[in-house]
Every structure is written in C-alpha cells, then in structure tokens.
C-alpha cells in the first residue's frame, strides 16, 4: 500500500474513532461538541461567549459540554408540521363557532 493511501486511511480511522467517542461520552470537549453539532469550534466559542449554549468551565479551565443538554438545546424551538397546524386550525374552528 502506498504511503499516501495509508495516511488517508489512517486519517479516516482516526475520524471514525473520534465520532464513536463523541457518541458514547456524556461530557464533551469543544472538538467533540463540534462533531456532535456540526458547528465549527469558532462558532461554538461565539455561542458560549454569548451564553447561548449551555456549557461548563471547571476550575476556570477548558470548556466542557453535557451531551444531553446540547442535544436538548439543538432540539429547541420545534416547528409544527403543516398537518399539525391544519389540525389545530380545524379544532379551533369547530370549538369556537
């Protein structure tokens, strides 16, 4: 196997390892949170400085994120589907005649 192919394969294995680790850990680093959310590290730092995303800074050190809180944060502000809105509208029209 050529050295270039070996290096590319090794990088893919390392990326898979990081993804698996991020999926099983409860407390995440900024790098793992970036993998989980799909946001860049810079954007996550901006969100923490704005206090827009829940995070922890133990002993004033590096930033940590609780996976369940980040997932809840990602799922906030749910938008209703068209069928849910139609159902609510029908119910409102029937009950408020």
How many Å apart are CA 69 and CA 17, to the nearest integer? 23
The domain spans of the chain are 26-95
Q: What is the pTM of this model?
A: 0.67
**Sign of the CA dihedral 20, 36, 30, 51?**
negative
First to last CA, the chain: 76
Q: Which one has a higher pLDDT value, 64 or 13?
A: 64
**Residue 55 has which token pair?**
């995070």
12-32 tens-digit pLDDT: 888 887 777 666 789 999 998
26-95: which CATH architecture? Orthogonal Bundle (1.10)
Write the DSSP symbol of residue 64: B
């Amino acid at each position: 196997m050529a050295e270039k192919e070996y290096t590319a394969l090794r990088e893919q294995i390392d990326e898979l390892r990081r993804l698996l680790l991020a999926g099983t850990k409860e407390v995440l680093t900024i790098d793992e949170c970036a993998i989980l959310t799909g946001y860049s590290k810079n954007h996550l730092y901006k969100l923490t400085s704005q206090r827009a995303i829940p995070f922890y800074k133990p002993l004033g050190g590096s930033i940590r994120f609780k996976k369940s809180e980040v997932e809840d944060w990602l799922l906030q502000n749910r938008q209703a589907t068209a069928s849910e809105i139609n159902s609510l509208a029908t119910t409102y029209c029937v009950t408020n005649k």
